[in-house]
Structures are given as C-alpha cells and as structure tokens.
Amino acid sequence: MTDLGTLPPALSAEEQELAGLAFPGNLLALLQKWETGAAQHLHQGLFTAAGEDFGKAQDRALEMLLSRLPCGGKLLDVGCGLGGLAGLLWRAGADIVGIVPDEALAAVARRRFGDDLPLRCCSFEDFKEDDGRWDALLFHESGQHMAMLDLFARASALLKEDGEILILDEFACKRVEVGEEEFHHKEYFLRLATRFGFACREDVDLSSAVAPSLDFLLRGLADHAGALAAATGLEQAVVENLRLVRHKQREKYRQGRFGYFLLHLKRKKLPRWRLSRMTEADQPAVSGLFSEVFGKSLTPAFWRWKYGPGRGQAVGLWQDGRLIAHYGGIPRFFHCPDGVYPACQPCDFMVAAGVRGLLVRKGPPFLVAATFIEQFIGYGTAYPFSYTFPNERSFGLPFRLGICTSPMVRMYEASWPAGARGGSFLWTMRDIDPAQPKEAAIIDNLWLRMIQELRHLVVGVRDASYWRARYREHPEYDYRLVLLCHRWTRRPLAVVAVKVDGRRLELLDWVAGRDQLPKVALAARFLAAQGGLEEVYTWVSDPVIPELAATCARIQDIHVNVPTNAWTEAPPLTILMGKLYLTAGDTDFH
C-alpha cells in the first residue's frame, strides 16, 4: 500500500492510465490501486464482514448480478466502467455489448480484455443499436446518472417485449430537504417502471452491505488527498470537496434517506401509451395539440421561449405516434423570508379530445401530471414548490386525486377607469429597456427597495434579468415597460409593465415601494386614456389587495385558485399559505 498522503516516485503506466479517467472515476480507481494493489472495477462492494478485502466485496456484487441474468440472452451492460462484468461474460461466450461514456474508459477495458471486446462509446440515450432485440439491460451504478424518464424510454425501445432490467445502485428513500439530490427516489422510480409496463420481481435492500465501501472511500480520500491531486492534476480542494459530498451521502445512509438496492424488473406488457420527456424535436406535435385544445397556435419561437435550453421542461404521452397529453413547467425564482428559491409554474396541461375524461389514476392526464411532478417538483428536485392558476372547475378533480393542495391564495381582478394625469405633476414617465446596463441597474435598485417591504411574503423575483426574459424577450406579446421618475430630482420611483388587451390596458407587473403604488395606478390609467382605452385591470393574489387600498381599485373575485404540489415530498404548506404575492405577470398566459 502506498504511504498515506504521499505520491509514488513515479506513476506506473497503469496508474497514469487510471489518472486520465474522468473525474471522479480516476480518484476511485487510483485509491483501489494504491490500497489493494488492483483496480478491477469502479463500483462499490457488498461486504459480509468488517475488514473484508474490497476487491472480494466488489466481486460479490458482480456475482449477485450474474446469478440473475437470463441464460443465453442478448445483454447490454450500460456504463460498464473498466469492463469487468462485460469482459468476463464476453470471454465466457455471452452475447454482450458494453456502453462506456468516453474513450478513456474504453481504452482501459480493451487493454484488459482485448481490442475485440464489444464496446460502444456513447451515452445510453444515444445508443440506437438493435432496438427491440435485447433480452436484458444491466445498470450497475450507472442509472443514477440519467434522467429516469430518459432511462425508461430508451430501455423500452431496446428491450424485447418480455425484456428485463437489472439495477444495482444507490437511491433516495425519503426526501426532507430543499435542493437537488444525486440519486433517484426509489418509490418514484418504481412507479415510473410500472407506467412503462414493468413489474418488480425483486427489491433487495443492500444498504448495510455496501456501507463499508462508503467508509473505504472516505478514508482513502482523506489519507491520499495530496497524492490524488498530484496524480490527476486536480486541485486538492476538488478532492476535499468530493470527500465532503461523500461524507454527506454517508450520513444520509445512516439516517435512512439514501440506500443501496438491487432491483430486478421484467416487462409484463407493452403499455397502451408511451411517456417521454419533450424536446425541441417534439415542438410540432406540441403545437398541434396546443391548437386543438386552446384554438390558437404555439409558434416555434414561443415554444423556445418557454422550453428552450435553460428554461422549462415538459412530459408528453403518446399513442401510436400521436401526442395525446402534455404537462409542462417553467422556472421562476421566489424571494422567501429565509432566502431565494426556485419554483415551477406548471403550464400547457393539455389532453386530446377523447381522453380528457380519463383523469383517474391510470388515465392520460394523471400520468403526465404525476410523472412531471415526480421528476421535477418537491424535495430533492430542481423546484421545491410549484404554483399554478386553475379555475374552480379545473381545480376540483386534481385536488381530489391528491395531485394538488388546497389553494395557497386566490386570484382577483383589480380594475380602474382610464383617466387623466391628475395630481401627477411631480413625476414623469418614459420607456425603459432592461437590456441596457444603466436601466437594468435602476430596476435592480427598485427591486431591492420593494422586497425590503415585502420580506415577510413569498414574492416572485422582479429584478432586471427577470424583466428582460419575461417581457422584453417575449416573442409574441408587445409589452410596454415604463419608468416613473420624480420630475425634478429624476429619482426613479417605479417601473410598470403594461399591454393592450382589446379595449382595456392590462397592468401586468410593477417594481415599486408600497408608497408608490398610487402613482403606478395613476400612470396605468393615464396610459390607457392616452391610448383611447376604457379601463385598466390586473390580476392580484390575496396579499396584494391591501397594498392597493390607496389606489381605490375595484376588486372582483375571478374564481381562480393557486394551489401547489401535493403529490411528492415537499416543503410544508404553512410556509406558503396566504403568503404568495402574485400579479398578472406571474402567469405564463398574460
């Protein structure tokens, strides 16, 4: 064993090859080489006794998989690492192909087993060989690196009708914290398997058997931090950060939040409908369903504004190549009393005619909604909470099915008649462009003032970056963004966003202190009169109504509820109940 914390005088050829692997596989491979004298695999081991040889424990994990493989079938080892299992089976005459994500891993595997070892250097999602002809797929600590929906969609296409999936991997067992977690939630993973027609033949908890592997890695990262950094060219802080991440994972194992499981899935039937994560290639189908359901077009530009790179996500359900249901969501950051958090606004919930009445636990609307929420909303995901705007008719059934909560707030219409600039001689108006740095700074400063007054509420972030993306870059609606300034000092007072809507002017949004809201209403009323319009209106949630008291707004209940997610583990409703500060601009459809 290499002296702790030191680097060998010179790396051997094998060690140089291992050091060249992608992070963090390079660290694990070198640790095994230095601690045990060999690096045969990149996966964890299953221990039967403390102090057992690490390599022997790794072999036991392979034996567990080998004992469950179908005899004589066509096998695909997804993410085969250093080629240990694939090479062993190939030498024994099995019909097997291994997938590796990069050429460095492929080079190590071929050095060990020969250049003829059948490997494909690609991602699983891009593997398109022999669809429908594979008997079994193996995911040995590789499934955690793929989106669940992508994994099952591709696996379903590759497997024979009665094909099998073997998984030996880490999973989340329960989620209790805000922030994305590394592993799939096992309950949601198995739910999704069922929706793709798979039954779970085995579900074996191996968490206690794998615990010594986690401890082996933690000790090695601490003892060899300097040597690992020097051998791989990484900063020592990177090695230390990996140790901290693994330490947190180990604690979650102790708390029962993470676990290590063998899952053996077998397809029992081909599902009637096919779920998928939507991509830009699906945009024409989404637009067609949008037109059918809403009676208007969803242009490619509007789709990209919602769902392009870095924006929203969506889940679709297909039948015979036709999109029959869709559930999307777009991101939004909210300022909460204890910090800023991402949220998701579900949108474009669409179901084709003929299947709309099937909002039951196995129907198309439920399938896309539940699948989307399990992937993207709640503890351990990208978005801790969601908010949406159903009317009372469309709210009832999702609430009874447990998809959404009771309303956090309700929306109301506030309106004012168009009017002249009475009492407005102390301030002026001009257009403002949030894409210009100086103008963006004005909006940002106004936002900081506004949130100081509203810090006890949950308020959608209204900084310049948001205004630019929401209003200036919108591909279809023609918004006008207006700055109100003090006439003589030129001090910025407020920014408003408005849009003509028939004979009315819609006041979508504002960034202003509480004392400036009467000026916001007066400015909107003047702009309406200037355009020959009849009145101004906006949508507001319950907490906004007291803020408008000084504006003499007429308030009308429009019977729109704002619930959040009830389907997955998520922050308690008490954090949000009665506290969401929303205006018309917080919707995706105004």
Residue 117 pLDDT level (bands cut at 50, 70, 90): very high
Q: Are 25 and 4 in contact (CB under 8 A)?
A: no
Q: What is the mean pLDDT of residues 14-22?
A: 93
Quote the tokens at residue 359. 């909002």
The H or E element spanning position 217 is: helix 207-223
| Percentage of the chain exceeding pLDDT 70 | 97
Least Cα distance to 257 among 185, 196, 201, 150 occurs for 185
d(CA 331, CA 190): 26
d(CA 318, CA 259): 33
Q: What is the mean pLDDT of residues 155-173?
A: 98
Mean pLDDT score of the chain, rounded to an integer? 93
Q: Which residues pair with 236 in a beta bridge?
A: none
Give the model's pLDDT for residue 393: 83
Q: What are phi and psi of 2, to 5 degrees?
A: -65, 145
Give the model's pLDDT for residue 358: 56
pLDDT surpassing 60 at residue 9:
no
Coil/strand/helix, residue 564:
coil
- Give the amino acid at 122: C
Residue 399 pLDDT level (bands cut at 50, 70, 90): confident
Give the model's pLDDT for residue 3: 44
Evaluated on CA atoms 539, 369, 188, 79, the torsion sign reads negative
Least Cα distance to 462 among 481, 485, 443 occurs for 443
Give the model's pLDDT for residue 540: 98
d(CA 368, CA 352): 13
Q: Is the peptide bond before 24 cis (omega within 30 degrees of 0)?
A: yes
Residue 407 pLDDT level (bands cut at 50, 70, 90): very high
Evaluated on CA atoms 571, 573, 575, 579, the torsion sign reads positive
Residue 10 pLDDT level (bands cut at 50, 70, 90): confident
Domains 274-386 and 413-586 share a fold: yes
Q: What is the mean pLDDT of residues 460-468?
A: 98
Q: How far apart are the first and last CA of the chain?
A: 66
Quote the tokens at residue 457. 């509420």
Residue 569, class by beta-carbon neighbours within 10 Å (0-12 exposed, 13-18 middle, 19+ buried)?
middle
Q: Are 240 and 220 in contact (CB under 8 A)?
A: no
Give the model's pLDDT for residue 223: 94
- The bridge status of strand 74-78 relative to strand 95-100 is parallel
The CATH class that applies to domain 274-386 reads alpha beta
pLDDT surpassing 90 at residue 420:
no
Give the model's pLDDT for residue 507: 98
Q: What is the mean pLDDT of residues 208-235?
A: 95
Would you kindly state where each structural domain of the chain is located, as residue ranges? Answer: 13-267, 274-386, 413-586
Give residue-wise pLDDT tens across range 544-564: 999 999 999 999 999 999 999
Residue 400 pLDDT level (bands cut at 50, 70, 90): confident
Least Cα distance to 212 among 59, 36, 46 occurs for 46
Q: What is the mean pLDDT of residues 50-78?
A: 93
The gap from C-alpha 513 to its chain's centroid, in whole angstroms, comes to 33
- Assign a CATH topology to domain 13-267: Rossmann fold (3.40.50)
d(CA 97, CA 90): 8
Give residue-wise pLDDT tens across range 132-152: 999 999 999 999 999 999 999
d(CA 171, CA 581): 36
Q: Residues 6 or more apart from 238 whose CB is under 8 A from it?
A: 23, 229
Give the model's pLDDT for residue 360: 65
Q: What is the mean pLDDT of residues 241-267?
A: 97
Q: How many residues does the chain have?
A: 590
Q: At what angle do helices 207-223 and 54-66 cross, to 10 degrees?
A: 140
How far, in Å, are 211, 284, 438 from residue 57 at the CA level?
Answer: 11, 51, 62
Give the model's pLDDT for residue 7: 54
CB atoms within 10 A of CB 408: 23
For the segment(s) 413-586, the CATH number from 3.40.630.30, 3.40.50.300, 3.40.50.150, 3.20.20.80 is: 3.40.630.30
Predicted model pTM? 0.93
d(CA 70, CA 537): 66
Side-chain-side CA neighbours of residue 102 (13 Å) = 8
CA angle 544, 450, 546 (to 5 degrees): 20
pLDDT surpassing 50 at residue 486:
yes
More confident residue, 55 or 10: 55
DSSP percent split of the chain into helix, strand, coil, nearest 5: 40, 30, 35
Residue 1 pLDDT level (bands cut at 50, 70, 90): very low
d(CA 262, CA 141): 10
Give the model's pLDDT for residue 424: 64
Residue 354 pLDDT level (bands cut at 50, 70, 90): confident
